[in-house]
Amino acid sequence: MRPILVAAILALAPLGAAADSIVETREGWRVVATDKPYETLLVDLRAAVQDNKMGLVTEAGPTEVAASRGETIPGNRVVGIFRNDFAVTIIRAAPSAMIEAPVRIMVMEEPDGTASLSYKLPSAVFAPYAEEGGEAVTDAAAELDAIFAKIADDAGGS
């Protein structure tokens, strides 16, 4: 192979990772790559939250504020999701665990124009409170794991 061709192939190799999310998967996290644009995934996430009978409690993102300062960063939005019955259960069992609510899902614009959705598993979020809150906390977290998986699947699906 010609040296220039080899150099070109090696230079383009990192681009193959563009199909993967720029959000690093970590222990206790789930990252869902989608083929949806950022704005579409946000709309679909909001609908999935409602369809799964959860509450959209908070929304925050740096993208628009950065743009107002002349900075350009990928689309990024963090959506806090919870429901009052879970709050009541958890606060009764482990009051300090409520610092973790609402549980957040992040939508991140990827370099290829698609968007990813990522979140810490509720069971990982509430794990530090399992000893204090016992089965009430671990059962609520397990139920939330299933709901968050459904929300992610519903929002991320084609």
pLDDT tens, residue by residue, 93-130: 999 999 999 999 999 999 999 999 999 999 999 999 99
pLDDT band at residue 20 using 50, 70 and 90 as cut-offs: low
Task: Give the residue from 66, 63, 45, 67 showing the smallest Cα distance to 54.
Answer: 45
CA–CA dist 128, 121 (Å, integer): 13
Residue 5 confidence (pLDDT) above 60? no
Q: Does residue 47 contact residue 155 with C-beta atoms inside 8 Å?
A: yes
CA–CA dist 82, 84 (Å, integer): 7
Pairwise pLDDT comparison (59 vs 18), residue with the higher score: 59
CA atoms within a 13 Å half-sphere pointing along the CA-CB vector of 145: 15
Query: Across the strands, what pairs with 58?
Result: 80
**Overall CATH class of domain 19-156:** alpha beta
What does the block give as tokens for 6? 């080899």
